[in-house]
Amino acid sequence: MSEKKTLEEIRNAIDGIDDRILELLNQRAQMVIAIGTLKRGEAREFYVPSREREIYQRLTDKNNGPFPNEALKSVFREIISASLALEEPMKVAFLGPKATFTHMAAQQQFGLSAELVPQKSIPAVFEDVEKSRARYGVVPVENSTEGMVSHTLDMFMESDLKIIAEVLLEVSHDLLSRTGRLGDIKKIYSHPQAIAQCRKWLEENLPNVPVVDVASTALAAQIVSEDYTAAAIAGESAASLYELKVVKKRIEDQVNNFTRFLVIGKQIAEKSGNDKTSLMFSVKDDPGILYRMLEPFASRGINLSKIESRPLKKKAWEYIFFLDLSGHISDPGISEAIDELRDCCQFVKILGSYPRNT
């Protein structure tokens, strides 16, 4: 018999490996159930983003291939998602409907075993979490092309919920229709941000076709699924859900187009070692105030990754600032800097410390 293995022998070997994987998955599941019992007894959070990140990092560092790291993370995301569902059913509210980029971000963070509940507005997502109808929520906060999502920032002014994780999602927009033919398109539907991100392509390729704003890219796809003369700007998941054909892929004007999403919950996340802290504050209207509000961080060498201002709705010409910085609120330097910041502020609010998505 030849030393070279036959196709049947290789398949049998794969079956044996699969059997071992199945056995190990069930062993892991038993341990997860035990952890869930311990957490309930100690009233601890079931979902710990820092632990999830630690698992991904450890496994990708050990991976010698040829199985790719991104695929490895996808596999373990679903293992972790199914495991969390064994501990406790995971209900997550997100800005819907299904097949939007926020839906994709929620799936990327929580996997397919979580119960993902679409909501019609950002305030509705916050309300679901505040009233414990959902354990967590997922909302967009900024786009690398279009900037901050003001509705999300405004909600943090009213809510005591915390940011427990962030998700970065590359956003690519496809032009979708029933026929897949450019010449059939008489009208285009999409969300205003998606339209803005594709403005140059639309002007160059469909300059005389009217463009209509709708509440979401998924709603645009739903409308187009019933109209042979219309097209939608949406993601590939919308094409699959509504059985549309791709007229043109990736029509966005900027190639590196990312949207950042926030996962919101009721408690600050545990320290992971590579964290980000977000806060909001309003300063007193004094000479040199901008210098004084930044000096506590500069003097301690704390990196500020973002600062954004929003007008206070109740007072003309007064502003509230949103700040992202490197580190966790439990770090002594961070807590000292924020305490010093309070001296020149009308109020300071910690929005959360959470693992940095890099």
Name which residue leads in pLDDT, 317 or 133: 133
Range name among 64-73, 144-153, 313-322, 348-357 with the lowest pLDDT average: 313-322
In single-letter form, the type of residue at position 27 comes to: Q
Measured CA to CA, the distance from residue 136 to residue 234 in angstroms comes to 25
Q: Rounded to the nearest 5 degrees, what angle is found at the Cα of 195, between the Cα atoms of 190 and 197?
A: 135
Tokens 């293992």 sit on residue? 79
Q: Rounded to the nearest 5 degrees, what angle is found at the Cα of 272, between the Cα atoms of 308 and 94?
A: 55
Question: For residue 317, what pLDDT band results from cuts at 50, 70 and 90?
Answer: low
Question: For residue 1, what pLDDT band results from cuts at 50, 70 and 90?
Answer: very low
Q: Say what angle helices 101-110 and 69-87 make with each other, to 10 degrees.
A: 80
Indicate if the pLDDT at residue 158 is higher than 80.
yes
The active-site residue, picked from 259, 277, 281, 297, is 259
DSSP state of 181: -
Most confident of 38-47, 87-96, 216-225, 248-257: 216-225
Closest CA to 334 of 272, 279, 256: 279
Q: Say what angle helices 150-158 and 122-130 make with each other, to 10 degrees.
A: 30
Measured CA to CA, the distance from residue 211 to residue 340 in angstroms comes to 50
Tell me if the bond preceding 287 is cis, omega within 30° of 0: no
Is residue 60 part of the annotated active site? The answer reads no
The whole-model pTM stands at 0.80
Region of 166 please: left (phi>0), alpha (psi -120 to 50) or beta: beta
Question: For residue 137, what pLDDT band results from cuts at 50, 70 and 90?
Answer: very high
CA distances from 192 to 99, 189, 213 (A): 17, 9, 6
Range name among 1-10, 25-34, 216-225 with the lowest pLDDT average: 1-10
Indicate if the pLDDT at residue 279 is higher than 90.
yes
Average pLDDT of every residue of the chain: 88
- Tens of pLDDT, residues 12-42: 999 999 999 999 999 998 888 888 788 777 7
| Residue 200: φ, ψ to 5° | -65, -45
Is residue 261 part of the annotated active site? The answer reads yes
- Tens of pLDDT, residues 168-211: 988 889 999 999 999 999 999 999 889 998 999 999 999 999 99
pLDDT given at position 326: 93
Chain-centre distance for alpha carbon 158: 21
CA dihedral defined by 233, 235, 236, 242, rounded to 10 degrees? -70
Measured CA to CA, the distance from residue 167 to residue 185 in angstroms comes to 34
Range name among 3-7, 215-219, 306-310 with the lowest pLDDT average: 3-7
Instruction: Detail the DSSP E strand segments found in the chain.
Output: 91-95, 115-119, 136-143, 147-148, 162-170, 174-177, 187-190, 211-213, 230-234, 245-248, 258-265, 275-283, 304-311, 319-326, 345-355
Counting every residue, how long is the chain?
Answer: 358
Computed on alpha carbons and rounded to an integer, the radius of gyration of the chain in Å comes to 24
The active-site residue, picked from 94, 126, 156, 261, is 261
Q: What pairing do the DSSP bridges indicate for beta strands 258-265 and 275-283?
A: unpaired
What domains, with CATH codes, occur in the chain? 7-80 (1.20.59.10), 89-169 (3.40.190.10), 174-248 (3.40.190.10), 268-355 (3.30.70.260)
